[in-house]
Structure 1
Amino acid sequence: MKISFSASNQILPSLHIPQLIRRAPPKEKVVVVLGVTGAGKSRLSIDLATRFSAEIINSDKMQVYQGLEITTNKITDEERRGVPHHLLGVADPESDFTAADFRAMALISLRSIHSRRQLPIVVGGSNSFVEALVDSSFQSRYDCCFLWVDAAMPVLHSFVSDRVDRMVERGMIEEIRAFFRPNADYSRGIRRAIGVPELDQYFRIESECGGEEARARALAAAIDAIKMNTSRLACRQLEKIRRLRNTRDWRMHRLDATEVFRKRGGEAEAAWDSVVAETAELIVSRFYYDSEADVYGGVVAMRSGARPMMAATAS
């Protein structure tokens, strides 16, 4: 007996073809260290760079120029501890290096650093440079971690004043003297650096063979002006950081270094490590390695087994 089936009566299995989910490629990582002058940005960047495979991109508009290492407080070769630095002392001191110039060169440096599978750390006090770099198109490609090294301004003003005295002892006056010109333009290039315009009158009196007393008064007035203008710069930088925090979609991790500046010697070193460096390391570890972490009540507890520590305030 033959049994036949009509094709129309057969039940065919349904085929479910899943749709391919297109995911955006992972963003490349960038750490940005912000803070006012003297707060410890460079120190933190070196601490992080020696804990991770990292290279540093300078975002200080005066340190980008060649020369005036003491006056612009450039990090020394010894302080760099072998960490590669980009855009540090690369521009002609007579030129005007703009925020647009910085953005173009920083993007080249970022691509170069990432090609070596290193972590870029952008650090410097010129927040206008950072703002020019981190626009919407930048954030569509890069994933940024913002660290803000902060300290109480009265404590920081005292530190900045002492630092100017140390810079004078290291030879700042002699360094700036080499840049003195009677008809110098203090509105462009490296001569905009704090310290250069303030010493103009002193060098004029010196070149005119003024008396010792007049020279001493002029030098003291110049040093006082350097300290005052550096403190004013710190206040402007703080206002800019707060504006960026309030108007930009940047989640800043605030690291309060006030206690570090209130201590001396070994106590200051220990406070820096526990309050600033180690906290920043935990934040960057979570960001860089995409580790799972619990962030509740100000406590960062890494699931990798690292010791829990009080986290920085996310402002």
Structure 2
Amino acid sequence: MSLSMCQQTPFFLHIPQSGTVHCRQPPKEKVVVVLGATGTGKSRLSIDIGTRFPAEVVNSDKMQVYEGLDITTNKITQEECCGVPHHLLGEIDPNMDFTATNFCNMASLAIKSVVNNRRLPIIVGGSNSFIEALIDDKDNDKFRSKYECCFLWVDVSMPMLDSCLSDRVDRMVERGMVDEVRKMFRLNANYSRGIRRAIGVPELDRYFRAESSSDDKTRARILEEAINMIKFNTSKLACRQMEKIYRLRDVKGWKMHRIDATDVFRRRGREADKAWENLVAGPSAMIVSRFLYNFGPMEYRNLRALRGPLMGTAVAAATH
């Protein structure tokens, strides 16, 4: 993730000279939901939004909620957060099961806290089952009755995403994923509970068992097989996540703003950052501005240049 996003211009609502804020009075609180398969840039987009609007992130990734395995679960770092507060990120005991019900209860409290602080909640994560359970509660329409949602779907073509996910696994290995998982290895480990369900943990079990009893060549082969399996399972996860997003859109009727980031992943360095701003961050910020304030593209471009001490007051007036 490029740290250039931390330099984004914050969004300020224009206060006319009369002191009157011209905006709609929405009947419900506003929530932004960032969807997408693993590796598409959801976290990056959430930070882009969080640095342009007064916002806080509520993590909905079912593995990133756990404490530990930061490399293996690809958690966003403190530096990458750019000062945007995060909830449900690395907070849960890694040995306990964290269910959709647990998530709904804790996420609801976090969202309520963010709203009470006159800030915008951004729900982001690849666990679409958690997001669906929160938003489309079968027992009652509690969430929908309180909140109006803006769904941003970051999409990348699967052939391109497959290649990028493979490269990401290689980078995770270089950063120390194997050593990180080794610290959690237990001979009698249960890979159906807690953080040990995370991709990268079960796949390395055979390698750790063979470390002390195999020669170098055998260990290298087993490790290579484990890494390839991690790549395969990560790609499978992305496919399942895409299928769920299609179902939420086509069957359940969720109205999503699809943001195609494929071209960003074809580029490198500054060219990729420019493409991200032009194709993903900029359009998403305009969508959110319309969602919050009913501003059009021209008004948004004018407002991005504004500065002033009235941000908190303006946002409170616009979102309440």
- In which range does the TM-score fall when normalised by the shorter chain? 0.7 to 0.9
> Which amino acid in structure 2 is aligned with residue 172 of structure 1?
M
1:93 aligned residue: 94
In the alignment, is residue 203 of structure 1 matched against residue 198 of structure 2?
no
The equivalences for 1:135-154 within 5 A come to: 135=136, 136-154=141-159
Distance (Å, rounded) in 2 between the aligned partners of 1:41 and 1:97? 22
1:278 aligned residue: 282
Task: Indicate if the aligned counterparts of 1:282 and 1:302 stay in contact, CA closer than 8 A.
Answer: no
Can you give the 5+ residue segments of structure 2 that lack an aligned partner in the other structure?
1-24, 304-320
Distance (Å, rounded) in 2 between the aligned partners of 1:35 and 1:302? 28
Name the SS for the 1:78 alignment partner: coil
- How many residues of Structure 1 are paired with residues of Structure 2 in the alignment? 275
Q: TM-score, normalised by structure 2?
A: 0.84
Task: Indicate if the aligned counterparts of 2:97 and 2:193 stay in contact, CA closer than 8 A.
Answer: yes
The equivalences for 1:123-202 within 5 A come to: 123-135=124-136, 136-202=141-207
Deviation at 1:137, TM superposition (A): 2.3
> Which amino acid in structure 2 is aligned with residue 251 of structure 1?
K
Name the SS for the 2:153 alignment partner: strand
Deviation at 1:147, TM superposition (A): 0.1
Change (3 A) 1:304 1:57: closer
> Which amino acid in structure 1 is aligned with residue 119 of structure 2?
Q
After superposition, the C-alpha distances for 1:182-219 in whole angstroms (9 at most, x for unaligned) are 11110110000000000000000013x31111100100
After superposition, the C-alpha distances for 1:161-200 in whole angstroms (9 at most, x for unaligned) are 0000000000000000011011111011000000000000
Name the SS for the 1:79 alignment partner: coil
Task: Indicate if the aligned counterparts of 2:152 and 2:257 stay in contact, CA closer than 8 A.
Answer: yes
After superposition, the C-alpha distances for 1:1-22 in whole angstroms (9 at most, x for unaligned) are xxxxxxxxxxxxxxxxxxxxxx
Deviation at 1:141, TM superposition (A): 1.0
Deviation at 1:249, TM superposition (A): 3.2
In the alignment, is residue 243 of structure 1 matched against residue 244 of structure 2?
no
Name the SS for the 1:254 alignment partner: strand
CA RMSD in angstroms comes to 1.4
Deviation at 1:230, TM superposition (A): 0.2
Deviation at 1:264, TM superposition (A): 1.1
Distance (Å, rounded) in 1 between the aligned partners of 2:77 and 2:95? 22
Deviation at 1:46, TM superposition (A): 0.1
Change (3 A) 1:214 1:143: same
1:53 aligned residue: 54
Distance (Å, rounded) in 2 between the aligned partners of 1:172 and 1:266? 27
Deviation at 1:248, TM superposition (A): 1.9
Task: Indicate if the aligned counterparts of 2:286 and 2:300 stay in contact, CA closer than 8 A.
Answer: no
Q: Which has the larger radius of gyration?
A: 1
Distance (Å, rounded) in 2 between the aligned partners of 1:305 and 1:237? 34
Q: TM-score, normalised by structure 1?
A: 0.85
Deviation at 1:288, TM superposition (A): 1.1
Change (3 A) 1:65 1:304: closer
Task: Indicate if the aligned counterparts of 2:73 and 2:198 stay in contact, CA closer than 8 A.
Answer: yes
Aligned match of 1:262 in 260, 266, 282? 266
Higher relative contact order (CA 8 A, sep 6+): 2
Deviation at 1:302, TM superposition (A): 4.1
Percent pairwise identity: 64
Mean CA deviation greater in 181-190 or 245-254: 245-254
The equivalences for 1:294-305 within 5 A come to: 301-303=297-299
Name the SS for the 2:107 alignment partner: helix
> Which amino acid in structure 2 is aligned with residue 158 of structure 1?
S
Distance (Å, rounded) in 2 between the aligned partners of 1:89 and 1:305? 36
Task: Indicate if the aligned counterparts of 2:289 and 2:300 stay in contact, CA closer than 8 A.
Answer: no
Distance (Å, rounded) in 2 between the aligned partners of 1:303 and 1:42? 26
Distance (Å, rounded) in 1 between the aligned partners of 2:239 and 2:26? 40
Deviation at 1:303, TM superposition (A): 4.4
Task: Indicate if the aligned counterparts of 1:161 and 1:227 stay in contact, CA closer than 8 A.
Answer: yes
Name the SS for the 1:281 alignment partner: helix
| Regions of 4+ moved over 6 Å | none
> Which amino acid in structure 2 is aligned with residue 30 of structure 1?
V
Distance (Å, rounded) in 1 between the aligned partners of 2:236 and 2:201? 16
Distance (Å, rounded) in 2 between the aligned partners of 1:249 and 1:105? 26
Distance (Å, rounded) in 2 between the aligned partners of 1:250 and 1:86? 24
2:218 aligned residue: 214
Name the SS for the 2:80 alignment partner: helix
> Which amino acid in structure 2 is aligned with residue 123 of structure 1?
V
> Which amino acid in structure 1 is aligned with residue 38 of structure 2?
T
Can you give the 5+ residue segments of structure 1 that lack an aligned partner in the other structure?
1-23, 294-300, 308-315
Deviation at 1:152, TM superposition (A): 0.5
